[in-house]
Structure 1
Amino acid sequence: MTKALRNFTGRLLLVGCGNMAGAMLDRWLAAGLDPALVAIVDPYAAARAGIVPHASLDEWQAAGGSADWIMLGMKPQQLGDVAEILAPLATGDVHLLSILAGVSIADLAARFPDARAQVRILPNLAARIGAGVSAVATSGRSDDAAITALLDPLGHRVTLADDSTMDLVTAFTGSGPAFVFRLIESYAAAGERLGLSAEDALALATATFGGATALLADSGEKPGVLIAQVASKGGTTQAGLDVLDGDGQLAALLTNVLRAARDRGRELADIARGEG
Protein backbone atom coordinates (compact mmCIF):
# COMPACT_ATOMS: atom_id res chain seq x y z
CA MET A 1 0.00 0.00 0.00
CA THR A 2 1.07 3.60 -0.47
CA LYS A 3 2.56 5.41 2.51
CA ALA A 4 -0.41 7.76 2.79
CA LEU A 5 0.55 8.95 6.29
CA ARG A 6 4.26 9.49 5.77
CA ASN A 7 3.72 13.28 5.90
CA PHE A 8 1.39 13.23 8.91
CA THR A 9 3.05 15.29 11.63
CA GLY A 10 0.55 15.47 14.48
CA ARG A 11 1.40 13.82 17.79
CA LEU A 12 -1.16 11.10 18.48
CA LEU A 13 -2.14 9.78 21.91
CA LEU A 14 -4.15 6.56 22.12
CA VAL A 15 -5.92 6.10 25.44
CA GLY A 16 -6.68 2.42 25.29
CA CYS A 17 -5.21 0.22 22.58
CA GLY A 18 -7.22 -2.99 22.51
CA ASN A 19 -8.37 -4.95 19.48
CA MET A 20 -10.07 -2.12 17.58
CA ALA A 21 -7.73 0.76 18.40
CA GLY A 22 -4.79 -1.60 17.89
CA ALA A 23 -6.06 -2.59 14.45
CA MET A 24 -6.35 1.07 13.50
CA LEU A 25 -2.87 1.86 14.80
CA ASP A 26 -1.27 -1.08 13.00
CA ARG A 27 -2.86 0.04 9.74
CA TRP A 28 -1.69 3.63 10.29
CA LEU A 29 1.85 2.45 10.92
CA ALA A 30 1.72 0.34 7.76
CA ALA A 31 0.53 3.48 5.94
CA GLY A 32 3.67 5.34 6.96
CA LEU A 33 2.74 6.97 10.27
CA ASP A 34 5.94 7.71 12.19
CA PRO A 35 5.86 5.64 15.43
CA ALA A 36 7.81 8.42 17.15
CA LEU A 37 4.64 10.53 16.91
CA VAL A 38 2.54 7.94 18.76
CA ALA A 39 2.01 7.43 22.48
CA ILE A 40 -0.12 4.68 24.00
CA VAL A 41 -1.68 4.66 27.46
CA ASP A 42 -2.73 1.09 28.13
CA PRO A 43 -1.05 -1.28 30.59
CA TYR A 44 -2.01 -4.28 28.44
CA ALA A 45 -1.10 -2.93 25.00
CA ALA A 46 0.98 -5.13 22.72
CA ALA A 47 4.52 -3.92 22.08
CA ARG A 48 5.07 -2.11 18.79
CA ALA A 49 8.43 -1.08 17.37
CA GLY A 50 9.26 2.50 18.23
CA ILE A 51 6.35 2.98 20.65
CA VAL A 52 6.64 2.65 24.42
CA PRO A 53 3.24 2.06 26.05
CA HIS A 54 2.49 3.85 29.32
CA ALA A 55 0.56 2.18 32.10
CA SER A 56 -1.39 5.32 33.02
CA LEU A 57 -2.06 8.89 32.00
CA ASP A 58 -0.07 10.06 35.01
CA GLU A 59 2.93 8.10 33.77
CA TRP A 60 2.52 9.55 30.27
CA GLN A 61 2.36 13.08 31.66
CA ALA A 62 5.40 12.48 33.87
CA ALA A 63 7.30 11.47 30.74
CA GLY A 64 6.53 14.88 29.22
CA GLY A 65 3.65 13.66 27.08
CA SER A 66 1.78 16.02 24.80
CA ALA A 67 -0.60 15.44 21.91
CA ASP A 68 -2.26 17.16 18.96
CA TRP A 69 -4.68 14.27 18.48
CA ILE A 70 -6.18 12.27 21.35
CA MET A 71 -8.09 9.09 20.54
CA LEU A 72 -10.24 7.48 23.20
CA GLY A 73 -10.37 3.69 22.89
CA MET A 74 -10.83 2.55 26.46
CA LYS A 75 -14.08 1.34 28.05
CA PRO A 76 -16.89 3.93 27.95
CA GLN A 77 -17.27 3.57 31.72
CA GLN A 78 -13.82 5.12 32.13
CA LEU A 79 -14.71 8.34 30.31
CA GLY A 80 -15.22 10.42 33.43
CA ASP A 81 -11.86 9.56 34.98
CA VAL A 82 -10.01 10.01 31.68
CA ALA A 83 -11.69 13.34 30.94
CA GLU A 84 -10.79 14.70 34.35
CA ILE A 85 -7.10 14.32 33.47
CA LEU A 86 -7.16 15.04 29.73
CA ALA A 87 -9.72 17.85 29.42
CA PRO A 88 -7.23 20.53 30.55
CA LEU A 89 -4.83 19.28 27.84
CA ALA A 90 -7.42 19.03 25.05
CA THR A 91 -7.40 22.72 24.18
CA GLY A 92 -6.35 24.97 21.32
CA ASP A 93 -5.81 22.90 18.17
CA VAL A 94 -6.16 19.50 19.85
CA HIS A 95 -8.62 17.14 18.16
CA LEU A 96 -10.50 14.73 20.41
CA LEU A 97 -11.26 11.45 18.60
CA SER A 98 -13.49 8.77 20.09
CA ILE A 99 -14.31 5.19 19.11
CA LEU A 100 -16.28 4.66 22.33
CA ALA A 101 -19.58 2.84 21.83
CA GLY A 102 -22.57 4.88 22.92
CA VAL A 103 -20.69 8.09 23.75
CA SER A 104 -22.21 10.90 21.68
CA ILE A 105 -20.58 14.03 20.33
CA ALA A 106 -22.64 15.99 22.86
CA ASP A 107 -21.12 13.85 25.64
CA LEU A 108 -17.62 14.48 24.26
CA ALA A 109 -18.25 18.21 23.94
CA ALA A 110 -19.42 18.36 27.54
CA ARG A 111 -16.31 16.51 28.75
CA PHE A 112 -13.82 18.22 26.41
CA PRO A 113 -15.35 21.65 25.71
CA ASP A 114 -12.09 23.36 24.73
CA ALA A 115 -10.91 20.87 22.12
CA ARG A 116 -10.69 22.23 18.59
CA ALA A 117 -13.07 19.46 17.48
CA GLN A 118 -14.83 16.42 18.82
CA VAL A 119 -14.77 13.57 16.30
CA ARG A 120 -16.78 10.41 16.75
CA ILE A 121 -15.56 7.46 14.68
CA LEU A 122 -17.21 4.08 14.33
CA PRO A 123 -14.71 1.71 12.64
CA ASN A 124 -14.75 -2.05 12.41
CA LEU A 125 -12.13 -4.75 12.72
CA ALA A 126 -11.53 -5.13 8.97
CA ALA A 127 -9.64 -1.83 9.25
CA ARG A 128 -6.71 -4.09 10.18
CA ILE A 129 -6.35 -5.01 6.49
CA GLY A 130 -7.63 -1.75 5.01
CA ALA A 131 -11.07 -3.23 4.28
CA GLY A 132 -12.98 -1.69 7.15
CA VAL A 133 -15.95 0.64 7.30
CA SER A 134 -15.60 3.85 9.31
CA ALA A 135 -18.54 6.13 9.98
CA VAL A 136 -17.50 9.59 11.19
CA ALA A 137 -19.29 12.62 12.58
CA THR A 138 -17.61 15.81 13.78
CA SER A 139 -18.26 19.01 15.63
CA GLY A 140 -16.15 22.12 16.07
CA ARG A 141 -13.42 23.33 13.72
CA SER A 142 -12.20 19.97 12.52
CA ASP A 143 -9.26 19.55 10.19
CA ASP A 144 -11.21 17.50 7.68
CA ALA A 145 -8.22 16.85 5.42
CA ALA A 146 -6.21 15.36 8.29
CA ILE A 147 -9.19 13.27 9.47
CA THR A 148 -9.62 11.96 5.93
CA ALA A 149 -5.92 11.12 5.78
CA LEU A 150 -6.25 9.08 8.98
CA LEU A 151 -9.40 7.23 8.00
CA ASP A 152 -8.81 6.44 4.33
CA PRO A 153 -6.07 3.82 4.98
CA LEU A 154 -8.61 1.93 7.11
CA GLY A 155 -11.00 1.28 4.21
CA HIS A 156 -14.39 2.72 3.30
CA ARG A 157 -15.32 6.01 4.99
CA VAL A 158 -18.86 7.32 5.48
CA THR A 159 -19.28 10.90 6.72
CA LEU A 160 -22.52 11.48 8.64
CA ALA A 161 -24.22 14.84 9.02
CA ASP A 162 -24.50 14.17 12.76
CA ASP A 163 -24.21 11.22 15.12
CA SER A 164 -27.92 10.62 15.69
CA THR A 165 -27.74 7.21 13.98
CA MET A 166 -24.40 6.16 15.46
CA ASP A 167 -25.87 3.63 17.89
CA LEU A 168 -27.40 1.80 14.94
CA VAL A 169 -24.19 2.18 12.91
CA THR A 170 -22.29 0.69 15.86
CA ALA A 171 -24.51 -2.38 15.68
CA PHE A 172 -24.64 -2.51 11.89
CA THR A 173 -21.01 -2.07 10.87
CA GLY A 174 -19.04 -2.01 14.12
CA SER A 175 -20.50 -5.25 15.47
CA GLY A 176 -21.29 -6.54 11.97
CA PRO A 177 -18.05 -8.46 11.36
CA ALA A 178 -18.70 -10.58 14.45
CA PHE A 179 -22.19 -11.39 13.19
CA VAL A 180 -20.78 -12.38 9.79
CA PHE A 181 -18.11 -14.52 11.44
CA ARG A 182 -20.85 -16.26 13.44
CA LEU A 183 -22.85 -16.91 10.27
CA ILE A 184 -19.78 -18.41 8.58
CA GLU A 185 -19.05 -20.50 11.67
CA SER A 186 -22.64 -21.76 11.76
CA TYR A 187 -22.66 -22.44 8.01
CA ALA A 188 -19.49 -24.50 8.38
CA ALA A 189 -20.93 -26.34 11.38
CA ALA A 190 -24.01 -27.25 9.32
CA GLY A 191 -21.79 -28.63 6.57
CA GLU A 192 -19.89 -30.66 9.14
CA ARG A 193 -23.09 -32.07 10.61
CA LEU A 194 -24.12 -33.22 7.12
CA GLY A 195 -20.85 -35.01 6.42
CA LEU A 196 -18.00 -32.63 5.56
CA SER A 197 -14.82 -32.62 7.59
CA ALA A 198 -14.44 -29.65 9.94
CA GLU A 199 -11.47 -28.35 7.93
CA ASP A 200 -13.20 -28.65 4.55
CA ALA A 201 -16.44 -27.13 5.87
CA LEU A 202 -14.70 -24.05 7.24
CA ALA A 203 -12.54 -23.59 4.15
CA LEU A 204 -15.53 -23.89 1.82
CA ALA A 205 -17.71 -21.63 3.96
CA THR A 206 -15.02 -18.95 4.17
CA ALA A 207 -14.40 -19.03 0.41
CA THR A 208 -18.12 -19.04 -0.38
CA PHE A 209 -18.92 -16.02 1.77
CA GLY A 210 -15.79 -14.19 0.63
CA GLY A 211 -16.47 -14.83 -3.04
CA ALA A 212 -20.13 -13.88 -2.77
CA THR A 213 -19.44 -10.55 -1.07
CA ALA A 214 -16.62 -9.76 -3.50
CA LEU A 215 -18.92 -10.49 -6.46
CA LEU A 216 -21.66 -8.31 -4.97
CA ALA A 217 -19.25 -5.40 -4.49
CA ASP A 218 -17.75 -5.78 -7.95
CA SER A 219 -21.00 -6.24 -9.87
CA GLY A 220 -22.81 -3.13 -8.71
CA GLU A 221 -26.00 -5.21 -8.68
CA LYS A 222 -28.49 -5.56 -5.87
CA PRO A 223 -28.39 -8.90 -4.01
CA GLY A 224 -31.72 -10.00 -5.45
CA VAL A 225 -30.38 -9.81 -8.99
CA LEU A 226 -27.48 -12.11 -8.14
CA ILE A 227 -29.75 -14.47 -6.22
CA ALA A 228 -31.83 -14.88 -9.38
CA GLN A 229 -28.67 -15.75 -11.31
CA VAL A 230 -27.90 -18.60 -8.88
CA ALA A 231 -31.39 -19.90 -8.15
CA SER A 232 -33.63 -21.61 -10.69
CA LYS A 233 -37.25 -22.55 -10.17
CA GLY A 234 -37.51 -25.93 -8.53
CA GLY A 235 -33.73 -26.23 -8.14
CA THR A 236 -31.46 -26.93 -5.19
CA THR A 237 -30.77 -23.26 -4.42
CA GLN A 238 -34.45 -22.40 -4.36
CA ALA A 239 -35.13 -25.28 -1.99
CA GLY A 240 -32.63 -23.79 0.45
CA LEU A 241 -33.94 -20.24 -0.03
CA ASP A 242 -37.45 -21.43 0.78
CA VAL A 243 -36.17 -22.48 4.21
CA LEU A 244 -34.22 -19.24 4.75
CA ASP A 245 -37.18 -17.09 3.74
CA GLY A 246 -39.85 -19.12 5.50
CA ASP A 247 -42.20 -16.98 7.62
CA GLY A 248 -39.75 -14.05 7.47
CA GLN A 249 -37.78 -15.62 10.30
CA LEU A 250 -34.33 -14.65 8.98
CA ALA A 251 -35.26 -10.97 8.60
CA ALA A 252 -36.85 -10.98 12.05
CA LEU A 253 -33.81 -12.65 13.59
CA LEU A 254 -31.35 -10.15 12.10
CA THR A 255 -33.56 -7.24 13.12
CA ASN A 256 -33.56 -8.52 16.69
CA VAL A 257 -29.77 -8.97 16.58
CA LEU A 258 -29.24 -5.36 15.48
CA ARG A 259 -31.81 -4.04 17.96
CA ALA A 260 -30.08 -5.77 20.87
CA ALA A 261 -26.67 -4.40 19.88
CA ARG A 262 -28.06 -0.90 19.28
CA ASP A 263 -29.87 -0.84 22.62
CA ARG A 264 -26.76 -1.99 24.45
CA GLY A 265 -24.93 0.97 22.92
CA ARG A 266 -27.54 3.28 24.41
CA GLU A 267 -27.12 1.61 27.79
CA LEU A 268 -23.35 2.14 27.59
CA ALA A 269 -23.97 5.81 26.86
CA ASP A 270 -26.05 6.10 30.03
CA ILE A 271 -23.28 4.40 32.01
CA ALA A 272 -20.67 6.77 30.55
CA ARG A 273 -22.79 9.73 31.64
CA GLY A 274 -23.14 8.23 35.11
CA GLU A 275 -26.82 7.50 34.59
CA GLY A 276 -26.63 3.71 34.41
Structure 2
Amino acid sequence: MTKLLRDFSGRLLLVGCGNMAGAMLDRWLAAGLARAQVAIIDPVATPRDGVVQHTSLAAWQAAGGTADWIMLGMKPQQLGDVADVLAPLATGGVHLMSILAGVSLADLAVRFPGAGAQVRILPNLAARIGAGVTAVATLGDADDAAIAALLDPLGQTVTLADDSTMDLVTAFTGSGPAFVFRLIESYAAAGERLGLSAEDSLALATATFGGATALLADSGEKPGVLIAQVASKGGTTQAGLDVLDSDGQLAALLTNVLRAARDRGRELADLARGEG
Protein backbone atom coordinates (compact mmCIF):
# COMPACT_ATOMS: atom_id res chain seq x y z
CA MET A 1 0.00 0.00 0.00
CA THR A 2 1.43 3.36 -1.05
CA LYS A 3 2.08 5.77 1.81
CA LEU A 4 0.46 9.09 1.04
CA LEU A 5 2.61 12.18 0.74
CA ARG A 6 1.41 14.55 3.44
CA ASP A 7 2.65 17.83 4.90
CA PHE A 8 4.52 18.81 1.77
CA SER A 9 3.70 21.85 -0.29
CA GLY A 10 5.64 24.18 -2.51
CA ARG A 11 7.22 23.91 -5.92
CA LEU A 12 9.75 21.16 -6.58
CA LEU A 13 12.39 21.37 -9.30
CA LEU A 14 14.30 18.24 -10.37
CA VAL A 15 17.59 19.01 -12.10
CA GLY A 16 18.22 15.68 -13.78
CA CYS A 17 15.66 12.89 -13.78
CA GLY A 18 17.45 9.65 -14.55
CA ASN A 19 16.83 6.22 -13.03
CA MET A 20 17.11 7.18 -9.35
CA ALA A 21 15.52 10.62 -9.42
CA GLY A 22 12.86 9.25 -11.77
CA ALA A 23 12.06 6.41 -9.37
CA MET A 24 11.67 8.92 -6.53
CA LEU A 25 9.46 11.19 -8.61
CA ASP A 26 7.21 8.36 -9.77
CA ARG A 27 6.74 7.24 -6.17
CA TRP A 28 5.93 10.79 -5.06
CA LEU A 29 3.36 11.18 -7.82
CA ALA A 30 1.79 7.84 -6.87
CA ALA A 31 1.69 9.05 -3.25
CA GLY A 32 -0.28 12.15 -4.19
CA LEU A 33 2.22 14.86 -5.13
CA ALA A 34 0.40 17.26 -7.44
CA ARG A 35 1.91 17.20 -10.91
CA ALA A 36 1.58 20.96 -11.13
CA GLN A 37 4.01 21.24 -8.18
CA VAL A 38 6.85 19.64 -10.15
CA ALA A 39 9.15 20.72 -12.96
CA ILE A 40 11.91 18.65 -14.55
CA ILE A 41 15.07 19.85 -16.24
CA ASP A 42 16.41 17.01 -18.34
CA PRO A 43 16.69 16.79 -22.13
CA VAL A 44 16.31 13.00 -22.25
CA ALA A 45 14.12 12.03 -19.28
CA THR A 46 10.94 10.09 -19.89
CA PRO A 47 8.05 12.60 -19.95
CA ARG A 48 5.43 12.35 -17.19
CA ASP A 49 1.88 13.38 -18.02
CA GLY A 50 1.07 16.72 -16.45
CA VAL A 51 4.64 17.43 -15.33
CA VAL A 52 6.40 20.36 -17.02
CA GLN A 53 9.74 19.38 -18.49
CA HIS A 54 12.49 21.65 -19.86
CA THR A 55 15.64 20.76 -21.74
CA SER A 56 17.83 23.23 -19.86
CA LEU A 57 17.99 25.56 -16.89
CA ALA A 58 17.93 28.49 -19.31
CA ALA A 59 14.64 27.26 -20.79
CA TRP A 60 13.17 26.86 -17.31
CA GLN A 61 14.25 30.39 -16.40
CA ALA A 62 12.86 31.81 -19.64
CA ALA A 63 9.51 30.23 -18.81
CA GLY A 64 9.48 32.07 -15.46
CA GLY A 65 10.21 28.97 -13.42
CA THR A 66 10.50 29.22 -9.64
CA ALA A 67 11.07 26.60 -6.96
CA ASP A 68 10.94 26.24 -3.19
CA TRP A 69 12.70 22.88 -3.30
CA ILE A 70 15.47 21.96 -5.76
CA MET A 71 16.76 18.41 -6.07
CA LEU A 72 20.03 17.78 -7.88
CA GLY A 73 19.95 14.46 -9.71
CA MET A 74 22.38 14.97 -12.57
CA LYS A 75 25.98 13.71 -12.76
CA PRO A 76 28.26 14.99 -9.97
CA GLN A 77 30.69 16.32 -12.58
CA GLN A 78 28.00 18.77 -13.73
CA LEU A 79 27.69 20.41 -10.32
CA GLY A 80 29.85 23.43 -11.15
CA ASP A 81 27.93 24.40 -14.28
CA VAL A 82 24.56 23.85 -12.61
CA ALA A 83 25.53 25.81 -9.50
CA ASP A 84 26.66 28.79 -11.56
CA VAL A 85 23.09 29.17 -12.83
CA LEU A 86 21.08 27.95 -9.85
CA ALA A 87 22.96 29.45 -6.89
CA PRO A 88 21.54 32.99 -7.37
CA LEU A 89 18.05 31.48 -7.40
CA ALA A 90 18.50 29.12 -4.44
CA THR A 91 18.21 31.74 -1.72
CA GLY A 92 16.05 32.50 1.26
CA GLY A 93 14.01 29.52 2.34
CA VAL A 94 14.84 27.38 -0.69
CA HIS A 95 15.87 23.85 0.23
CA LEU A 96 18.72 22.53 -1.91
CA MET A 97 18.54 18.73 -1.98
CA SER A 98 21.12 16.45 -3.56
CA ILE A 99 21.37 12.76 -4.43
CA LEU A 100 24.80 13.29 -6.03
CA ALA A 101 27.36 10.64 -5.09
CA GLY A 102 30.33 12.05 -3.23
CA VAL A 103 29.07 15.63 -2.98
CA SER A 104 29.11 16.60 0.69
CA LEU A 105 26.95 19.06 2.59
CA ALA A 106 30.02 21.29 2.86
CA ASP A 107 30.39 21.19 -0.92
CA LEU A 108 26.73 22.15 -1.33
CA ALA A 109 27.08 24.99 1.19
CA VAL A 110 29.99 26.42 -0.81
CA ARG A 111 28.14 26.12 -4.12
CA PHE A 112 24.76 27.31 -2.78
CA PRO A 113 25.56 29.64 0.14
CA GLY A 114 22.22 31.44 0.01
CA ALA A 115 20.03 28.36 0.36
CA GLY A 116 17.95 28.07 3.50
CA ALA A 117 19.11 24.47 3.94
CA GLN A 118 21.26 21.90 2.21
CA VAL A 119 19.89 18.38 2.31
CA ARG A 120 21.92 15.35 1.28
CA ILE A 121 19.79 12.34 0.42
CA LEU A 122 20.99 8.85 -0.37
CA PRO A 123 18.11 6.66 -1.62
CA ASN A 124 18.21 3.36 -3.46
CA LEU A 125 16.27 1.99 -6.40
CA ALA A 126 13.75 0.06 -4.29
CA ALA A 127 12.24 3.48 -3.56
CA ARG A 128 10.41 2.88 -6.85
CA ILE A 129 8.08 0.46 -5.02
CA GLY A 130 8.22 2.10 -1.60
CA ALA A 131 10.66 -0.51 -0.27
CA GLY A 132 13.84 1.54 -0.36
CA VAL A 133 16.12 2.77 2.36
CA THR A 134 17.11 6.43 2.36
CA ALA A 135 19.83 8.06 4.42
CA VAL A 136 19.51 11.79 4.96
CA ALA A 137 21.66 14.50 6.55
CA THR A 138 20.94 18.22 6.66
CA LEU A 139 22.70 21.52 7.10
CA GLY A 140 21.03 24.84 7.83
CA ASP A 141 17.44 25.64 8.73
CA ALA A 142 15.84 22.49 7.35
CA ASP A 143 12.11 21.81 7.39
CA ASP A 144 12.34 18.38 8.97
CA ALA A 145 8.60 17.68 8.72
CA ALA A 146 8.52 18.40 4.99
CA ILE A 147 11.67 16.32 4.40
CA ALA A 148 10.13 13.41 6.31
CA ALA A 149 6.95 13.78 4.26
CA LEU A 150 8.95 13.51 1.04
CA LEU A 151 11.03 10.53 2.12
CA ASP A 152 8.38 8.48 3.94
CA PRO A 153 6.68 7.16 0.77
CA LEU A 154 10.04 5.88 -0.50
CA GLY A 155 10.45 3.33 2.31
CA GLN A 156 12.62 3.35 5.43
CA THR A 157 14.51 6.53 6.35
CA VAL A 158 17.70 6.72 8.40
CA THR A 159 18.58 10.21 9.65
CA LEU A 160 22.31 10.77 10.12
CA ALA A 161 23.77 13.30 12.54
CA ASP A 162 26.07 14.49 9.74
CA ASP A 163 27.21 13.20 6.36
CA SER A 164 30.69 12.01 7.36
CA THR A 165 29.76 8.37 6.64
CA MET A 166 27.68 9.07 3.53
CA ASP A 167 30.30 7.80 1.07
CA LEU A 168 30.15 4.40 2.76
CA VAL A 169 26.35 4.53 2.96
CA THR A 170 26.32 5.32 -0.77
CA ALA A 171 28.24 2.12 -1.42
CA PHE A 172 26.34 0.09 1.17
CA THR A 173 22.70 0.94 0.43
CA GLY A 174 22.78 3.06 -2.71
CA SER A 175 24.89 0.64 -4.74
CA GLY A 176 23.76 -2.33 -2.65
CA PRO A 177 20.76 -3.37 -4.78
CA ALA A 178 23.00 -3.84 -7.80
CA PHE A 179 25.31 -6.06 -5.75
CA VAL A 180 22.32 -8.13 -4.58
CA PHE A 181 21.01 -8.40 -8.14
CA ARG A 182 24.44 -9.66 -9.21
CA LEU A 183 24.41 -12.26 -6.43
CA ILE A 184 20.98 -13.45 -7.53
CA GLU A 185 22.10 -13.51 -11.15
CA SER A 186 25.18 -15.56 -10.24
CA TYR A 187 23.16 -17.90 -8.01
CA ALA A 188 20.72 -18.52 -10.87
CA ALA A 189 23.60 -19.08 -13.30
CA ALA A 190 25.07 -21.69 -10.94
CA GLY A 191 21.74 -23.50 -10.80
CA GLU A 192 21.59 -23.49 -14.57
CA ARG A 193 25.13 -24.88 -14.86
CA LEU A 194 24.15 -27.74 -12.56
CA GLY A 195 21.06 -28.70 -14.58
CA LEU A 196 18.11 -26.36 -13.97
CA SER A 197 16.52 -24.50 -16.86
CA ALA A 198 17.41 -20.81 -17.07
CA GLU A 199 13.80 -19.84 -16.39
CA ASP A 200 13.35 -22.13 -13.40
CA SER A 201 16.72 -21.23 -11.94
CA LEU A 202 16.07 -17.47 -12.02
CA ALA A 203 12.55 -17.89 -10.61
CA LEU A 204 13.80 -20.08 -7.77
CA ALA A 205 16.76 -17.78 -7.03
CA THR A 206 14.55 -14.68 -6.96
CA ALA A 207 12.02 -16.33 -4.63
CA THR A 208 14.74 -17.73 -2.38
CA PHE A 209 16.51 -14.40 -1.89
CA GLY A 210 13.22 -12.51 -1.56
CA GLY A 211 11.80 -14.93 0.99
CA ALA A 212 15.01 -15.05 3.01
CA THR A 213 15.29 -11.26 3.30
CA ALA A 214 11.57 -10.94 4.12
CA LEU A 215 11.92 -13.56 6.85
CA LEU A 216 14.99 -11.84 8.28
CA ALA A 217 13.19 -8.48 8.38
CA ASP A 218 10.03 -9.97 9.91
CA SER A 219 11.72 -12.18 12.51
CA GLY A 220 13.85 -9.55 14.17
CA GLU A 221 16.55 -12.21 14.55
CA LYS A 222 20.19 -11.91 13.57
CA PRO A 223 21.19 -13.80 10.41
CA GLY A 224 23.21 -16.35 12.36
CA VAL A 225 20.14 -17.47 14.31
CA LEU A 226 18.23 -18.16 11.11
CA ILE A 227 21.24 -19.87 9.53
CA ALA A 228 21.27 -22.28 12.47
CA GLN A 229 17.58 -23.02 11.90
CA VAL A 230 18.26 -24.04 8.29
CA ALA A 231 21.59 -25.82 8.68
CA SER A 232 22.09 -29.09 10.53
CA LYS A 233 25.42 -30.65 11.40
CA GLY A 234 26.71 -32.73 8.53
CA GLY A 235 23.76 -31.79 6.31
CA THR A 236 23.45 -30.34 2.83
CA THR A 237 23.23 -26.72 3.98
CA GLN A 238 26.33 -27.02 6.13
CA ALA A 239 28.23 -28.50 3.19
CA GLY A 240 27.45 -25.38 1.16
CA LEU A 241 28.20 -23.04 4.06
CA ASP A 242 31.61 -24.65 4.47
CA VAL A 243 32.43 -23.49 0.94
CA LEU A 244 31.05 -19.98 1.50
CA ASP A 245 32.94 -19.61 4.78
CA SER A 246 36.24 -21.02 3.58
CA ASP A 247 39.17 -18.81 4.65
CA GLY A 248 36.85 -15.80 5.10
CA GLN A 249 36.87 -15.27 1.34
CA LEU A 250 33.25 -14.14 1.09
CA ALA A 251 33.64 -11.47 3.79
CA ALA A 252 36.88 -10.31 2.18
CA LEU A 253 35.27 -10.13 -1.25
CA LEU A 254 32.33 -8.06 -0.03
CA THR A 255 34.64 -5.76 1.91
CA ASN A 256 36.61 -5.13 -1.27
CA VAL A 257 33.38 -4.51 -3.21
CA LEU A 258 32.23 -1.88 -0.72
CA ARG A 259 35.69 -0.31 -0.49
CA ALA A 260 35.86 0.10 -4.26
CA ALA A 261 32.41 1.70 -4.43
CA ARG A 262 33.15 3.99 -1.46
CA ASP A 263 36.47 5.11 -2.91
CA ARG A 264 34.87 5.85 -6.26
CA GLY A 265 32.41 8.10 -4.44
CA ARG A 266 35.34 10.05 -3.03
CA GLU A 267 36.84 10.35 -6.50
CA LEU A 268 33.55 11.69 -7.82
CA ALA A 269 33.56 14.26 -5.01
CA ASP A 270 36.98 15.45 -6.14
CA LEU A 271 35.72 15.73 -9.71
CA ALA A 272 32.69 17.72 -8.55
CA ARG A 273 35.05 20.12 -6.74
CA GLY A 274 37.24 20.34 -9.84
CA GLU A 275 40.11 18.57 -8.11
CA GLY A 276 40.17 15.41 -10.24
TM norm structure 1: 0.99
| Distance (whole Å) between structure 2 residues aligned to residue 65 and residue 94 of structure 1 | 14
Instruction: Spell out, residue by residue over 1:198-247, the C-alpha distance to the aligned partner (whole angstroms, 9 max, x if none).
Output: 00000000000000000000000000000000000000000000000000
| Distance (whole Å) between structure 2 residues aligned to residue 4 and residue 259 of structure 1 | 36
**Displacement of 1:89 after TM fit?**
0.4
What secondary structure is seen at the aligned counterpart in 2 of 1:39? strand
Name the structure 1 match of 2:71.
Answer: 71
Q: Could you list the runs of 5+ residues in structure 2 that have no partner in the other structure? A: none
| Distance (whole Å) between structure 1 residues aligned to residue 250 and residue 176 of structure 2 | 16
Letter in 2 for 1:132: G
Letter in 1 for 2:122: L
CA contact (8 A) 2:11 2:37 kept: yes
What secondary structure is seen at the aligned counterpart in 2 of 1:89? coil
Q: Could you list the runs of 5+ residues in structure 1 that have no partner in the other structure? A: none
| Distance (whole Å) between structure 1 residues aligned to residue 176 and residue 132 of structure 2 | 11
**Does 1:88 find its partner at 2:88?**
yes
Write the mapping of 1:217-256 to structure 2, written as runs, cut at 5 A.
217-256=217-256
CA contact (8 A) 1:40 1:54 kept: yes
Write the mapping of 1:109-258 to structure 2, written as runs, cut at 5 A.
109-258=109-258
Aligned length: 276
| Distance (whole Å) between structure 2 residues aligned to residue 79 and residue 253 of structure 1 | 33
| Distance (whole Å) between structure 2 residues aligned to residue 8 and residue 94 of structure 1 | 14
Classify 1:77/1:61 alpha carbon distance in 2 versus 1 (closer, same or farther; 3 Å). Answer: same
| Distance (whole Å) between structure 2 residues aligned to residue 261 and residue 165 of structure 1 | 13
Write the mapping of 1:11-50 to structure 2, written as runs, cut at 5 A.
11-50=11-50
Name the structure 2 match of 1:273.
Answer: 273
Letter in 1 for 2:96: L
Letter in 2 for 1:41: I
Letter in 1 for 2:25: L
Letter in 1 for 2:148: T
| Distance (whole Å) between structure 1 residues aligned to residue 90 and residue 166 of structure 2 | 23
**Displacement of 1:9 after TM fit?**
1.9
| Distance (whole Å) between structure 2 residues aligned to residue 165 and residue 231 of structure 1 | 35
| Distance (whole Å) between structure 1 residues aligned to residue 275 and residue 139 of structure 2 | 24
CA contact (8 A) 1:6 1:34 kept: no
Letter in 1 for 2:141: R
Instruction: Spell out, residue by residue over 1:95-124, the C-alpha distance to the aligned partner (whole angstroms, 9 max, x if none).
Output: 000000000000000000110000000000
CA contact (8 A) 2:125 2:177 kept: yes
**Displacement of 1:8 after TM fit?**
2.8
**Displacement of 1:49 after TM fit?**
1.1
What secondary structure is seen at the aligned counterpart in 1 of 2:245? helix
| Distance (whole Å) between structure 2 residues aligned to residue 7 and residue 119 of structure 1 | 17
| Distance (whole Å) between structure 2 residues aligned to residue 228 and residue 92 of structure 1 | 56
Letter in 2 for 1:123: P
Root-mean-square deviation over aligned CA pairs:
0.8
| Distance (whole Å) between structure 1 residues aligned to residue 189 and residue 155 of structure 2 | 30
**Displacement of 1:3 after TM fit?**
6.0
What secondary structure is seen at the aligned counterpart in 1 of 2:32? coil
TM norm structure 2: 0.99
Superposed structure 1 runs of 4+ greater than 6 Å apart: none
Identity of aligned residues (%): 87
| Distance (whole Å) between structure 1 residues aligned to residue 2 and residue 237 of structure 2 | 42
**Displacement of 1:52 after TM fit?**
2.5
| Distance (whole Å) between structure 1 residues aligned to residue 4 and residue 193 of structure 2 | 46
CA contact (8 A) 2:3 2:152 kept: no
| Distance (whole Å) between structure 2 residues aligned to residue 161 and residue 233 of structure 1 | 44
Name the structure 1 match of 2:10.
Answer: 10
What secondary structure is seen at the aligned counterpart in 2 of 1:179? helix
| Distance (whole Å) between structure 2 residues aligned to residue 97 and residue 6 of structure 1 | 18
**Displacement of 1:191 after TM fit?**
0.0
| Distance (whole Å) between structure 1 residues aligned to residue 274 and residue 2 of structure 2 | 43
| Distance (whole Å) between structure 1 residues aligned to residue 213 and residue 134 of structure 2 | 18
| Distance (whole Å) between structure 2 residues aligned to residue 161 and residue 91 of structure 1 | 24
